[in-house]
Amino acid sequence: MTAIAAKGTNWRKLFGRLRTYFSKPQNVILLVLGIVLTVTTIAPMLTIVNDTFAVHEGSVDARDVEEGQIYTTFNWVNLFAPATKTQKRLADINLWTPLKNSVLLSIFSCIGAILFGGVFAYLVTRTNMKCKKYLSAIFIFPYIMPQWTMAVVWQNLFNSNAVTGGSDGLLATLFGLRMPLWWCQGLFPSAMVLSLHYAAFAYILIGGIFRNMDANLEEAATILNTPRWKTFLKVTIPLVKPAILSTILLVFSSAMGSYPIPHYLNLSTLSTKYVELNASRAGQASILAVIMMLFGILILIVNQKTTSGRKSFTTVTGKSGQSSVVNLGIGKYILAAFFIFFTLCTGILPIIMFAVETFLPNPGDYSFITSGISGNMTLKWWINSDPLAENGMYGQLGILFNSTIWNAFLGTLIVSACCALAAGTIGLLVGYCVSKNRRSKWAAYVNNMAFLPYLMPALAVGVAFFIFGSSMGIFNTFLLLILAGTVKYIPFASRSALNSMLQLSGEIEEAAIIQDIPWWKRMTRIIIPIQKSSIISGYLLPFMTCLRELTLFMLLCSQTRIITTMLDYFDEMGLYAFSSGINLLLILVILLCNFVVNKLTGASIDSGIGG
Amino acid sequence: MKKLIALLMALIMTLSLCPVLAEGEMTVEEVIALAQTMTNEELYKKAIEESNGQVLYGIGNSSRGKTAGASFVAMLQGIDPSYTGTIDWSQPKNNSIFTTLNADIKGAKHVYSMTLIQDGNQVKSKMIDTGNLLNFIPKEWVEGEGVAVENNNNPLALQTLNKVFMFNNLGEAEFTNCWDFVAEGVAPLYMGVNSELVGKNFLYMLTHETYANYLKEAYDALPEEKKAYFAPTVEEMALEAEALGLEAENAAYGLAYIYLWCTAYNEQTDDGPICNTLVTTSAVDQCGLLVYSKLRSVEESAESSVNNITIAAYQDGYQGIGGYAYKHYLMIPKTSPLPWTACAFISYMVTTYDGFAAWGKDMGGYSANPICMWDHTQDGYVDGVNTYDAKNDRGYEWWISADGGRLVVEDPAYCASVAFDLGDWIDMIVGSK
């Protein structure tokens, strides 16, 4: 009898504790988000792992299986323990070489991005270099553009009949300049293009630290008569180390998951090999996706280690907030001139080339320059309205009359808006709830689960949702795109929201709690208005990133569904006028959105890149 | 509790009715069997009954299915102005059409009613052998006058497309024999064999007896110094042919050609850029194997002209294969939600001029049905003058004949039979470049 009474008391206690726990909205939200994020992140991953063991009809793994057999270890054995010389050679071609190239590409992209972005960040924030405002705005242009467009520009500039075969690129045509093959194709150009693309990451992350750095730290070293180079190495660099680490983590996984750049520049990576193998070796392709996912998890672990063990530096204090400016002397003009030229090549030239391309008679046909015949320019790529006209347009209507292009554009806007709304809201809730439960292991788990997809290479996430979506019968639907985009972009919003929520003192909300103001009112009347700038960044970044996303979505829908798959289609088809026109439209929309939001709220893309 | 039990029982009873209702419906196979005995007129009526107010989802490797779909709907509206059905056409990227279709067929909810699909090898091994795609032969097509039923009915082919050898003629290089395209220092522009798999099927087919014999004949016609260059490779490949279990007497010539082609070709993303490259003045001596119809889209300028290229097989005295041919197949998933409409749409495309017009207006695409064919023999004429000779399409019969273009024609069954071993062998060569 006593035992039963004790048991009843225990149950009541547990019930009471649960009721208290769930009386706090952040705990309920954390529980729900934890379950939702686990399902949306882990379920697609498990489907890939399952796919590596599944028998695929018409694929190599179905060759020696018995009737009715649905699972096999063939794919793993074939890649990791090849029995014959042929299998070993194939494993080398299909796994080890792409893996090596992917890792090298990621490493070189990190180095390049940090060098370009870090040096530029230092010059803009800590020196008296000229034209900073202009340079700062133009430096992020390569990041705004879809990444592979730079690869196409690279090809159009440097290819030549003598070296790469085919016709001459612009530099060979105009100046007879023929670059060596390693410059035109393979690891070097791929790493260069990715470095330029992700240099904006480094610039914004490292620049943020430089901008807020207290000059007293360096001044102390100067007073102690420390040489400038030593101050830079021993004081400045350690201060920006966390930002450098963040850049490495973000760029590494992004570079590893990049498909279009190595595809256009002829480099065999895990991403390009995945697409190649998918026809006859689908299970082995899934193994490549699993490897990419493992890199993502590895990066998450490294991220955890570095953030938990990281030396803490206080860079913002209540004292002098002035940062010292290094006087470059005459160098301020020379460096400005160099960077104006540099950004001209990386930011302005591609846009000019895009614009010119839309007026050429045939893709890459610059006869108006070489022959001086202005009649060799045309408006057909914009205004052709005759579907039967075969004037070099492969039956396509001009951009202005091409409903396929505009429908795809509308599709992109729908997907981007929905992803931004969903990711922004979930990220906001994650940020809020995690900040309220900082010491909770569950909160840390939810936070990691929300951040994990960002560290996963985009192609791996795309593959996971492709297999998941196909089995759920939602392939080629906006629902699948929105689901994948939301999961992938939650980290943008959650990081942004978490950082801003951590800045908020608990007292602000406590005052409202004492007055018995409901949670939703506290959120909409107090929390969100105070941190609206970073919260809007949490919506803005997924929106803008989604607008130009290809790798994540390329396996999930037909090419006419959204504008980036359409753009890639035109690029692959060699219809550069269309892809260039679409690129111009995309850049315009992104800049316009950034401008409007910046004017309305003060938030902008360059204040929050990288989460 | 009682309410709950009552609710559960009601649910079970309702669900138990579902199979009974489904039993009354015809399976897709039964619909196809019946549809094969019907005229177009009867099929169109069935389609109107079945899909009025609904959307037929089609998926295909050609974006022009959308144009054909719009034409089909307009035709049905001509019969019944109240018809409000539509066709939603999608073109998946890369090779995902097979995965998508299989996922749709195996899934709980079925979306796609018909498909236009290429790559005979995968169609055979992944779709026909598994029974996932079903073949439908329209009555009016099989009974049509002059229809080339043989080789186009299993599965039903919408059209045969050709990819042909071309070269930039502004330099000194000569390509008078198909072996010239794999000669020393030559790097033909070509889509990656794992990027567009019909390109790999072309290579498989070179080991087929008919085409290996073509290659042997062309090899024999080579001058001695050129023969001497290729001879060691041909000899080496005799052993490989045996190891790969190839049965054709001259398979070694096929393998030698594949080996040389794979080590030399310059991979491009699509035939469009290959065409744009070859027609320019700077692409001197470059060559490629690409879809013939791409030539229609070249705009003449100071830098680019169709006259800068020559179709290899159009030269007098040219020896050997002139390119290859592959097909677009029309098939119906075994789970098609609108099988009558799918049959009617397929029949419309292969038996009427308007139905095939989306493809027929271009050179290089050939219907097996003469009613659908357009004449492209004078596409290169401007105001009655033969201005762009390369655009004058000599037609399907010429291209596939042993006395004409000697195209290598895709045979799904043969490709599927050699794909695994030969595919690995090709991947090793391409991967070792």
- Model confidence pLDDT, tens digit, residues A452-467: 888 788 888 888 888 8
| Mean pLDDT, all residues of chain B | 91
Who wins on pLDDT, A363 or B205?
A: B205
- Whether B142 is covered by a domain: the verdict is yes
| Tens-place pLDDT, residues A28-46 | 999 999 999 998 888 888 8
- Whether A296 is covered by a domain: the verdict is no
CA atoms within 13 Å, Cβ hemisphere of B167? 25
- Whether A609 is covered by a domain: the verdict is yes
- Alpha-helix residue ranges (DSSP H) falling in B150-304: 198-205, 209-220, 224-243, 251-264, 271-278
pLDDT of residue A601: 67
Q: How far apart are the first and last CA of chain A?
A: 58
Angle between helices A237-256 and A282-309 (to 10 degrees): 170
Residues of chain A neighbouring B103 (CB-CB closer than 8 A): 470-471, 473, 475
Of A371, A394, A572, which has the smallest distance from its Cβ to B269's Cβ? A572
pLDDT of residue A313: 45
**DSSP per-residue string spanning A23-50:** TSHHHHHHHHHHHHHHHHHHHHHHHHHH
Residues of chain B neighbouring A54 (CB-CB closer than 8 A): none
- State yes or no: pLDDT of A522 exceeds 90: no
Q: Nearest CA of chain A to the CA of B217: how many Å? A: 30
| Tens-place pLDDT, residues A527-557 | 888 877 778 878 888 888 899 898 899 888 8
Task: Kindly state the helix (H) or strand (E) to which residue B160 belongs, with its residue range.
Answer: strand B157-168
Q: What residues form DSSP beta bridges with B327?
A: B160
- Whether A315 is covered by a domain: the verdict is no
pLDDT of residue A607: 55
d(CA A124, CA A134): 11
Task: Please enumerate in sequence order all residues whose Cβ is within 8 A of that of A316, keeping only pairs 6 or more positions apart, or say none.
Answer: A212, A214
d(CA A156, CA A152): 6
CATH number of the domain encompassing residue A465: 1.10.3720.10
Q: Could A392 and B298 be called an inter-chain contact, meaning their C-beta atoms sit closer than 8 Å?
A: yes
Residues of chain B neighbouring A574 (CB-CB closer than 8 A): 269-270, 272-276
pLDDT of residue B22: 47
Q: Nearest CA of chain B to the CA of A423: how many Å? A: 27
Say yes or no: A366 contacts chain B, CB-CB below 8 A.
yes
What DSSP character marks residue B178? G
- Whether B389 is covered by a domain: the verdict is no
Q: Token pair for residue B288?
A: 């490629």
Residues B218 and B318 in one domain: yes
Q: Could B299 and A571 be called an inter-chain contact, meaning their C-beta atoms sit closer than 8 Å?
A: no
Who wins on pLDDT, A313 or A463?
A: A463
Q: How confident is the model at residue B17 (pLDDT cuts 50, 70, 90)?
A: very low
- Whether A14 is covered by a domain: the verdict is no
| Tens-place pLDDT, residues A99-120 | 999 999 999 999 999 999 999 9
Q: Could A476 and B92 be called an inter-chain contact, meaning their C-beta atoms sit closer than 8 Å?
A: yes
- Whether B135 is covered by a domain: the verdict is yes
pLDDT of residue A315: 45
Average pLDDT over residues A269-284: 90
Q: How confident is the model at residue A310 (pLDDT cuts 50, 70, 90)?
A: very low
Average pLDDT over residues B241-256: 95
Of A172, A394, A561, which has the smallest distance from its Cβ to B297's Cβ? A394
Residues B176 and B319 in one domain: yes
Q: How confident is the model at residue A608 (pLDDT cuts 50, 70, 90)?
A: very low
pLDDT of residue A515: 84
Q: Provide the phi-psi class of A543: left if phi over 0, else alpha when psi is between -120 and 50, else beta.
A: alpha
- State yes or no: pLDDT of A594 exceeds 80: no
Say yes or no: A106 contacts chain B, CB-CB below 8 A.
no
**DSSP per-residue string spanning B70-90:** HHHHHHHHHH-TT---EEEEE
Closest CA to B314 of B409, B408, B390, B219: B390
Residues A112 and A31 in one domain: no
Q: Token pair for residue B242?
A: 């045996």
Residues A455 and A550 in one domain: yes
Of B103, B283, B304, which has the smallest distance from its Cβ to A166's Cβ? B283
Q: Nearest CA of chain B to the CA of A289: how many Å? A: 16
Q: Nearest CA of chain A to the CA of B42: how many Å? A: 32
pLDDT of residue A590: 84
Q: Provide the phi-psi class of A78: left if phi over 0, else alpha when psi is between -120 and 50, else beta.
A: alpha
pLDDT of residue B93: 66
Q: Could B428 and A86 be called an inter-chain contact, meaning their C-beta atoms sit closer than 8 Å?
A: yes
Residues of chain A neighbouring B108 (CB-CB closer than 8 A): 473
Q: How confident is the model at residue A196 (pLDDT cuts 50, 70, 90)?
A: very high
Q: How confident is the model at residue A318 (pLDDT cuts 50, 70, 90)?
A: very low
Closest CA to B192 of B118, B265, B129: B265
Average pLDDT over residues B37-65: 94
- Whether B381 is covered by a domain: the verdict is no
- Whether B8 is covered by a domain: the verdict is no
Closest CA to B163 of B122, B130, B133, B200: B200
Residues of chain B neighbouring A288 (CB-CB closer than 8 A): none
Residues B303 and B222 in one domain: yes
- State yes or no: pLDDT of A3 exceeds 90: no
Residues B148 and B177 in one domain: no
Residues B349 and B219 in one domain: no
Q: How confident is the model at residue A314 (pLDDT cuts 50, 70, 90)?
A: very low
If one counts every other C-beta atom within 10 angstroms of the C-beta of residue B418, the result is 22
d(CA A549, CA A552): 7
If one counts every other C-beta atom within 10 angstroms of the C-beta of residue B248, the result is 19
d(CA B92, CA A552): 15
Residues A119 and A254 in one domain: yes
Residues A514 and A585 in one domain: yes
pLDDT of residue B329: 97
Q: Nearest CA of chain A to the CA of B403: how many Å? A: 31
Say yes or no: A370 contacts chain B, CB-CB below 8 A.
yes
Highest mean pLDDT pick, A577-591, B53-67, B152-166, B295-309: B152-166
Task: Kindly state the helix (H) or strand (E) to which residue B163 belongs, with its residue range.
Answer: strand B157-168
Cis geometry, peptide bond prior to residue A453 (ω within 30 degrees of 0): no
| Mean pLDDT, all residues of chain A | 85
Residues A337 and A379 in one domain: no
- State yes or no: pLDDT of B3 exceeds 70: no
- State yes or no: pLDDT of A237 exceeds 60: yes
Q: How do beta strands B287-291 and B133-134 pair?
A: unpaired
d(CA B361, CA B279): 22
- Whether B277 is covered by a domain: the verdict is yes
Q: Nearest CA of chain A to the CA of B187: how many Å? A: 8
Say yes or no: B303 contacts chain A, CB-CB below 8 A.
yes
d(CA A433, CA A447): 9
Q: Closest-CA residue in chain B for A172?
A: B282
Kindly report the backbone phi and psi dihedral angles of residue B386, in degrees, each rounded to the nearest multiple of 5, phi listed first.
-70, 95
**DSSP per-residue string spanning A359-385:** T-SSTT--HHHHS--GGG--SHHHH--
- Whether A12 is covered by a domain: the verdict is no
Number of domains in chain A: 2
Residues of chain B neighbouring A275 (CB-CB closer than 8 A): 94-95
Q: Which of A10-14, A400-404, A547-551, B287-291 has the lowest mean pLDDT?
A: A10-14
Kindly report the backbone phi and psi dihedral angles of residue B59, in degrees, each rounded to the nearest multiple of 5, phi listed first.
-135, 135
Q: How confident is the model at residue B13 (pLDDT cuts 50, 70, 90)?
A: very low
Of B92, B276, B300, which has the smallest distance from its Cβ to A364's Cβ? B276
Q: Could A560 and B91 be called an inter-chain contact, meaning their C-beta atoms sit closer than 8 Å?
A: yes
Residues A485 and A340 in one domain: no
Say yes or no: B268 contacts chain A, CB-CB below 8 A.
yes
Lookup result for tokens 């060691």: B232
Of A367, A473, A575, which has the smallest distance from its Cβ to B301's Cβ? A367
- Whether A298 is covered by a domain: the verdict is no
Q: What is the domain range of residue B30?
A: 26-158+328-366
- In angstroms and rounded to an integer, the radius of gyration of the C-alpha atoms of chain B is 25
Q: Could B303 and A558 be called an inter-chain contact, meaning their C-beta atoms sit closer than 8 Å?
A: no
Lookup result for tokens 């630290």: A209
Q: How confident is the model at residue A223 (pLDDT cuts 50, 70, 90)?
A: confident
- State yes or no: pLDDT of B253 exceeds 60: yes
Residues B48 and B185 in one domain: no
Average pLDDT over residues B385-412: 95
pLDDT of residue B20: 41
pLDDT of residue A12: 85
Q: Could A393 and B297 be called an inter-chain contact, meaning their C-beta atoms sit closer than 8 Å?
A: yes
Q: Which of A34-43, A287-296, A525-534, B28-37 has the lowest mean pLDDT?
A: A525-534
Residues of chain A neighbouring B300 (CB-CB closer than 8 A): 361
Alpha carbon A118 to its chain's center: 18
- Whether A297 is covered by a domain: the verdict is no
CATH number of the domain encompassing residue B301: 3.40.190.10
Q: Nearest CA of chain B to the CA of A189: how many Å? A: 17
Number of domains in chain B: 2
- State yes or no: pLDDT of A604 exceeds 70: no
pLDDT of residue A1: 54
Say yes or no: B244 contacts chain A, CB-CB below 8 A.
no
- Whether B382 is covered by a domain: the verdict is no
Task: Kindly state the helix (H) or strand (E) to which residue B348 belongs, with its residue range.
Answer: helix B339-351
pLDDT of residue A388: 63
Residues A462 and A337 in one domain: no
Burial class of A312 by CB neighbour count within 10 A (0 to 12, 13 to 18, 19+): exposed
- Whether B169 is covered by a domain: the verdict is yes
Q: How confident is the model at residue B185 (pLDDT cuts 50, 70, 90)?
A: very high
Interface of B with A in 179-198 (CB under 8 A): 187, 189, 192, 194-195, 197
- State yes or no: pLDDT of A599 exceeds 80: no
Average pLDDT over residues A552-579: 87
Who wins on pLDDT, A530 or A154?
A: A154
Residues B273 and B422 in one domain: yes
Residues A348 and A431 in one domain: no
Say yes or no: B104 contacts chain A, CB-CB below 8 A.
yes
pLDDT of residue A392: 66
Residues B221 and B355 in one domain: no
Average pLDDT over residues B2-9: 50
**DSSP per-residue string spanning A585-602:** HHHHHHHHHHHHHHHHHS
Q: What is the domain range of residue A211?
A: 100-269+323-357
Residues B422 and B316 in one domain: yes
Average pLDDT over residues B101-105: 85
CA-to-CA dists, residue A156 to A362, A571, A578, B277, angstroms: 13, 12, 15, 12
pLDDT of residue A166: 78
Kindly report the backbone phi and psi dihedral angles of residue A437, in degrees, each rounded to the nearest multiple of 5, phi listed first.
-125, 55
Of chain B, the percentage scoring pLDDT greater than 90 comes to: 81
Who wins on pLDDT, A506 or A430?
A: A430
- Whether A43 is covered by a domain: the verdict is yes
Residues A380 and A342 in one domain: no
Of chain A, the percentage scoring pLDDT greater than 90 comes to: 29
Burial class of B402 by CB neighbour count within 10 A (0 to 12, 13 to 18, 19+): exposed
Who wins on pLDDT, A315 or B429?
A: B429
Who wins on pLDDT, A93 or A228?
A: A93
Residues A450 and A474 in one domain: yes
- State yes or no: pLDDT of A611 exceeds 80: no
Residues A145 and A52 in one domain: no
pLDDT of residue A606: 58
Residues B64 and B141 in one domain: yes
Residues B192 and B143 in one domain: no
Q: Closest-CA residue in chain A for B426?
A: A90
Say yes or no: B62 contacts chain A, CB-CB below 8 A.
no
Task: Please enumerate in sequence order all residues whose Cβ is within 8 A of that of B430, keeping only pairs 6 or more positions apart, or say none.
Answer: B192, B193, B194, B262
Contacts of A185-189 with C-beta under 8 Å, sequence gap 24+, read A185/A265, A185/A266, A185/A267, A186/A265, A186/A266, A186/A267, A187/A101, A187/A104, A187/A105, A187/A108, A187/A267, A189/A151, A189/A154, A189/A158, A189/A265
Lookup result for tokens 């290819």: A159
Residues A351 and A465 in one domain: no
Q: How confident is the model at residue B92 (pLDDT cuts 50, 70, 90)?
A: confident
Residues of chain B neighbouring A568 (CB-CB closer than 8 A): 93
Q: How far apart are the first and last CA of chain B?
A: 73
Residues B339 and B281 in one domain: no
- State yes or no: pLDDT of A609 exceeds 80: no
